[in-house]
Structure 1
Amino acid sequence: MSSRPPGLSVRFKLTLSYAGFLIIAGTLLLAVVWVFLLRYVPNRPIMALGGHVPNQGDLLRAFAPAAAWVMVFLVVFGLVGGWMLAGRMLAPLARITQATRKAASGSLSHRIWMPGPKDEFRELADAFDTMLARLEAQVSEQQRFAANASHELRTPLAITQALLDVARNDPKRETDELIERLHIVNTRAIDLVEALLVLSRADQRRFAKDSVDLSLVVEEAAETLLPLAEKQGVAIETSGEVTRAVGSHVLLLQMATNLVHNAIVHNLPEGGTVWVDTAVGPGSVVLSVSNTGAVLAPQLVSTLTEPFQRGTKRIRNDHAGVGLGLAIVKSIVHAHEGTLSVVARAAGGLTITVRLPVAPPHLPTIPNR
């Protein structure tokens, strides 16, 4: 909470400003009238045939009370009218303040929906509504992510506990089998934690930006995953041209590795294919990864970039991953100010297209590592 002492309200300040401006304008107008009348009124008394001709003294005695009443009227009218006008002008601001307080209390579903023509207050209210909508979506996504992450982290711990309980209750059990299963479970837990750290790093956008050749990054990822592809009976076909994107080599390599890994694992049982292509478009570079596989419904495809979503079923084998592959890809793409599209192929499988900003010529190029 702020320790600043309370000050004058904006409405009161505006009222004083309106009244002060009106008084100054009235004073200037009366001064102009006074100067104008003085030009046609003599300074000394003049006797004429018809009687006494008014002079400046007579004019002052007649003008001063009228001017005083006019100033009193302007003060009262300025204060009352200014108070009402300021209240009317600040009414939209009161609605925005009320919505801000509701948002601060945790109610992100409230919207201002400011009526009327598009003015400064309407633009502010619309911008605030847009911000609330984005915050609500992000908070909902983070809540789902936290729930899913807690569940995924709890699973290996529960399996470890169960294995240890079995070993404790059965002292004659072979320890080699127990150690091997514990090693697998522990490896999966470590992979999950590392994936969460990569996801957090991408979301925070804390990385240096260099010129990275996506074609070399793709070759490095494909070469690393070639033994897995051979084991799964999947062929990898790469093609394309030099595509220099702006970003982090480490994160872009992680992105390409995740895409190719997912394309290999979520494929046909045997005889599958993965196609990886890089190209240069107008103002952007394009990375496309397609694979064969099962036919997927559009409703399912739209959820694949959410954390802990896995195709048609939750695959549990040595290469299934932790369900964060495409979620990490999505975060890396957004951190690089790019776009990601996931489309189901009619023959089965997916086509995932990544568009990233092209690197400017002056940016240094990071060599392939």
Structure 2
Amino acid sequence: MNQAAPGSGRTTLATVAAAAGVSTATVSKVLNARPDVGQETRVRVERALADHGYVPQRQRRGRKKTRVRTVGLVCDDLLSPYTVEVLRGVSGAAAESEVDVVVALLDDVLGGPSSDAWVRRLRAAGHEGMIVVACELTELQGAAVDRAGLPLVAIDALSLPSIEVATVGATNGTGALGATEHLIGLGHERIAFVGGPESSSCGQARLHGYLAAMTNAGLHVDTELISHGLYITATGVAEGRRLLGLERPPTAVLAANDPIAIGVIEAARLQGLAVPADLSVVGFDDTFLAESSTPPLTTVRQPLQQMGAFAFESLMRLVGGRALDTSHIELATELIVRDSTTRLL
């Protein structure tokens, strides 16, 4: 497991952001003297810049901009809070390297027989590589990218083809383990898991973390307490209502992402139950939905912007013909406790 940015021989924007505990976008704002940064944050970023000897791109010798460089970013949902956070990380790192990011939907660009044609258009337009975000890549799609020789990096891929792909993710299993242990520590024993698609590799890691915590605590898991669906709010509503309608409903639910968790909270409301008094709920990702939900959501934080920045830097390393230190980077998760969980009375 590697938690450092891929080696590039220089201090990167992502390195400074990680040291200061902020996003790459915030570091960029400080570098560009933007006024919408708090004084305390600005000082912390400036200290990190100095400590790491950061030199802005425009000041580095030997760099002459001769053409517009572009990379493609492909996702399955442009409106997803998860995608928005990852895109901020990719675009911030790309701006620092003076590279443009072209965003597209998976079904629009890699669907069916048009896959080869679209990848050829990427090459013809000068695109140097591609980042896919939370997508399920088929063998057909992977083969099209491979035939074109287009460098590819996947972030939290739901599933991957058999070709070798560099990936960036988070410690999904560890995050789910900690979230479940948090609920067990509050006295909950009948804990449900509402996951994403069964084909999702990161979702499976979260399920295994949940099961490990339950097993370690000597708690029995009924199969009726485990379900799967799309990573959308409607899944949480439907599965939440099913779970709460059981003869022995759960007292707590771990959801595989924030939208599902918010759906479970809505299901409880529809059943006339209160969260967390009647049901504790934990999400995963810590997107902007988590803090603004009612009640504010306890969730597992993924460093989504850093994941985006590291994916971009990995891609640029591949574009430059350099090998990666590892084909898979995992960044640490963190449990953020808010008001949607409480001790079982």
Larger radius of gyration: 1
Structure with the largest fraction of helix: 1
Q: TM-score, normalised by structure 1?
A: 0.20
Q: TM-score, normalised by structure 2?
A: 0.21
Which structure's relative contact order is higher, taking Cα pairs within 8 Å and 6+ residues apart? 2
